[in-house]
Each structure stands twice: as C-alpha cells, then as structure tokens.
C-alpha cells in the first residue's frame, strides 16, 4: 500500500521514507510530508519505498474519556496551516476560528511548511526550501522577515520545535547521513546532536516543563516502522512509549504535560489521533474514524486539538475537544489544508 503524492516539484527535497506505510487517501499528498515524518538527503536511493505486511495485533487497552459539550466552532483563537489554495506551491495561512477569516502569510516560489509559534507568539518556525535542500526557518508572526536558521545547503533540515522558554529549537537533521535530533540556539547557532543511532530519529516535541523531548524512531523495529520515544532534553535516558507493528508519527505534548497526542496506524488501517501518558500508559484512540487523521496540535489551554483529516474527500483542518467530541471542519476549502499549529 502506498500514499500517493499530490504533485511532484522540480527539485529533490524532503522525501517521505514511510509513504508506503500510510493508507491511500482520497486526495494526493505533497512531495513533502504534511506532518512530521523523516527527512532525507537529496540522494533518492537512500530512501527506498517499502511495503509493510503485519499480522493483526491487539492494541493496548483504550480507556474512554468523558463526553464534552458539543461543537467548539465558536471558540476564539487562530490556527496556522499549510495550503495550496492560491497556486501550485504550498504557503502558510492563518485562520481565525470564530470569524473564519483566512490571512495568507507567505507567497513563495517553493513550498513552505509551518512550524509552531514561539512561546511569546511573536515569531513562528517553518520548513523552507533552497534549490536542492530544505532548511529550518524563522519569520515574524505576520509572515515577514523569513530567514534560514540552519544554513546547511548540503543537508535536509526540518520539523522544528521550540523549547518552552523560547531560547532553543529542536529539529530533525540529515547532516550525518540519517535522521537525528539536534538542538540549537533560537538564532541557529551552536547546533548539537542529541541522538546518535544508525536508524532514523525525528519529529522532536519538547515537554512543557522543558525537561523532556518526545520523538519518533524505528530504532527497535523494521526500517520504517516507527514508535514513540521520550528522552531527557539532553538526549539521555531514552524510553520507548509504544511498541508493536503500528506506525507512529508527530508527537505533541498537552500544555499541562500529562498527555502526548500523536498519529498512529494500527493493523494497516487508516491513521487516527491517539493520546498516551508520558510513561506509555493509558492509550486512547481520540478520533476513531475510518478516514486519515494526522498532525495533532493542542490549543493553548489544552481543551481542544486541531488536526488534518481527509474525511471530507480532501485534507481539511478540524478541531475537536480533548475527549474527541465536537469535531468541526474549520477550513472548508476545496484545496488541501494541512499541518495545523495553534496560535
């Protein structure tokens, strides 16, 4: 099984190692994965497409959560997302949830994928592209003054995450020949590798107290079969949170640090958004929908999550309460809207 790509751009950029592991959706997917998946160097042969065949397994016991009030549609706040709604390239947009007003933040001649806002809300991270490479960038919250923080023209850098104090950035880098987690200062200086494994470590997510980083890796599995891990912020004390043949992506800590949301494929089915405790207990399927549900992002108060889903026939941004109830399509556009980050 394979995930089809939405269109091919002329440059070789971040190629999805695990495209074959995602269920085919009603629409095609961009060349760069629409959420935190491993990055690759510009050499195509390093990233073969694989087929994954597994026997059905029983997922950990899932405990139901209490039902919340209906629809969060009237909630205030904004969500940053990526979309191709105004052309062939993917740009950044901000939607006000209450008014549905959409503001375009970037207009470029290559794809731009969003990262999170800085803790003070004045800046945002993104993944951008040079001619033959990808980079971690920083811009003002209104889309102005974009800059390349990583300055690695012979590597692919992607999927940045802020430290809670806004002083550091974690990211995925391919500069060592495989995907590793790095930390650098917020201005891009003093990069330091904090994982060191021959397999892929990627998609870092900082805990709210700054002491831990969740990430995804296939280090204990067949190549491309990723599970969720947590380590100390300096790279020590790595612990595995999920096991088995399911494939996990895009961890996101709740604002209070008690839960981690992530995307998971179980038994070769479409992906759902799951919640798990930081110690690996109390796994809960939050969306439980036959469509693909990807890229969870918590609201600042922890009461809701945004995510992308193809349940309406194309990628749209939905929001739900933290117990999985009250799902609402926020973007409602014929284009593909992806990778939400709550402002």
CATH number for the domain that contains residue 30: 2.120.10.30
The answer to whether position 8 is within a domain reads: no
Question: Who has greater pLDDT, 36 or 259?
Answer: 259
Structural domain span for residue 135 = 19-342
**C-alpha to C-alpha distance for 2 and 17, rounded to whole angstroms:** 11
Residues whose CB is less than 8 angstroms from the CB of residue 246 and which lie 6 or more positions away in sequence, other chains included: 57, 59, 227, 264, 265, 266, 267
Structure confidence at residue 39 as a pLDDT band (50, 70, 90): low
Structure confidence at residue 232 as a pLDDT band (50, 70, 90): very high
The pLDDT tens digits of the residues spanning 106-132 come to: 998 999 999 999 999 999 999 999 889
Mean pLDDT for the stretch of residues 263-282: 93
The answer to whether position 14 is within a domain reads: no
Closest CA to 128 of 147, 112, 116: 112
Q: How many domains does the chain have?
A: 1
Q: What is the mean pLDDT of the chain?
A: 84
Residues whose CB is less than 8 angstroms from the CB of residue 117 and which lie 6 or more positions away in sequence, other chains included: 80, 123, 124, 141, 162, 341, 343
Mean pLDDT for the stretch of residues 22-50: 42
Confidence (pLDDT) at 316: 98
The residues that bridge with 228 in the sheet, in sequence order, are 216
**C-alpha to C-alpha distance for 45 and 57, rounded to whole angstroms:** 32
Listing DSSP states for 224-289 in one string gives T--EEEEEETTS-S-EE---SS-EEEEEEE-TTSS-EEEEEE-TT---EEEEE-TTS---EESS--
The separation between CA 113 and the C-alpha centre of its own chain, rounded to angstroms, equals: 10
The answer to whether residue 331 scores a pLDDT higher than 50 is: yes
**C-alpha to C-alpha distance for 159 and 170, rounded to whole angstroms:** 8
Structure confidence at residue 27 as a pLDDT band (50, 70, 90): very low
**C-alpha to C-alpha distance for 285 and 280, rounded to whole angstroms:** 14
The residues that bridge with 275 in the sheet, in sequence order, are 261, 284
Mean pLDDT for the stretch of residues 44-49: 30
Q: Are 182 and 39 in contact (CB under 8 A)?
A: no
Mean pLDDT for the stretch of residues 178-193: 98
**C-alpha to C-alpha distance for 103 and 96, rounded to whole angstroms:** 9
The answer to whether position 13 is within a domain reads: no
The order of strands in the sheet holding 212-217 is 201-206, 212-217, 227-232, 239-240
Largest CA distance in the chain: 50
Confidence (pLDDT) at 68: 42
Beta strands at 293-298 and 304-309: parallel, antiparallel or unpaired: antiparallel
The answer to whether residue 309 scores a pLDDT higher than 70 is: yes
Residues whose CB is less than 8 angstroms from the CB of residue 10 and which lie 6 or more positions away in sequence, other chains included: none
The answer to whether position 10 is within a domain reads: no
Q: What percent of the chain has pLDDT over 70?
A: 78
The answer to whether residue 185 scores a pLDDT higher than 70 is: yes
The answer to whether position 205 is within a domain reads: yes
Confidence (pLDDT) at 44: 31
**C-alpha to C-alpha distance for 255 and 300, rounded to whole angstroms:** 6
Question: Who has greater pLDDT, 76 or 31?
Answer: 76
């Amino acid at each position: 099984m394979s995930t089809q790509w939405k269109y091919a751009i002329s440059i070789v950029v971040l190629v999805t190692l695990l495209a074959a592991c995602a269920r085919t959706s009603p629409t095609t997917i961009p060349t760069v994965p629409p959420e935190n998946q491993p990055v690759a160097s510009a050499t195509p042969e390093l990233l073969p497409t694989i087929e994954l065949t597994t026997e059905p397994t029983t997922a950990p016991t899932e405990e139901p959560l209490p039902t919340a009030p209906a629809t969060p549609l009237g909630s205030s706040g904004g969500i940053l997302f990526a979309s191709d709604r105004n052309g062939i390239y993917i740009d950044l947009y901000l939607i006000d949830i209450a008014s549905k007003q959409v503001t375009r933040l970037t207009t470029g001649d290559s794809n731009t994928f969003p990262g999170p806002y800085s803790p003070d809300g004045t800046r945002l991270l993104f993944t951008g592209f040079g001619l033959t490479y990808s980079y971690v960038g920083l811009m003002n919250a209104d889309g102005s003054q974009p800059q390349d923080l990583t300055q690695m023209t012979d590597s692919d850098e992607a999927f940045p995450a802020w430290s809670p104090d806004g002083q550091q950035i974690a990211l995925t880098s391919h500069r060592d020949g495989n995907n590793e987690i790095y930390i650098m200062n917020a201005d891009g200086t003093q990069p330091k590798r904090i994982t060191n494994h021959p397999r892929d470590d990627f998609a870092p997510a900082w805990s709210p107290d700054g002491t831990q980083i969740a990430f995804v890796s296939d280090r204990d599995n067949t190549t491309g079969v990723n599970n969720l891990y947590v380590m100390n912020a300096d790279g020590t004390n790595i612990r595995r949170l999920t096991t088995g043949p399911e494939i996990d992506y895009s961890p996101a800590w709740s604002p209070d640090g008690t839960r981690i949301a992530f995307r998971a494929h179980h038994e070769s089915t479409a992906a759902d958004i799951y919640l798990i405790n930081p110690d690996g207990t109390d796994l809960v399927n939050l969306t439980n929908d036959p469509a693909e549900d990807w890229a969870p992002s918590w609201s600042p108060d922890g009461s809701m999550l945004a995510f992308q889903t193809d349940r309406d026939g194309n990628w749209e941004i939905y929001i739900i309460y933290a117990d999985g109830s009250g799902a609402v399509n926020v973007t409602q556009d014929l284009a593909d809207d992806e990778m939400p980050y709550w402002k």
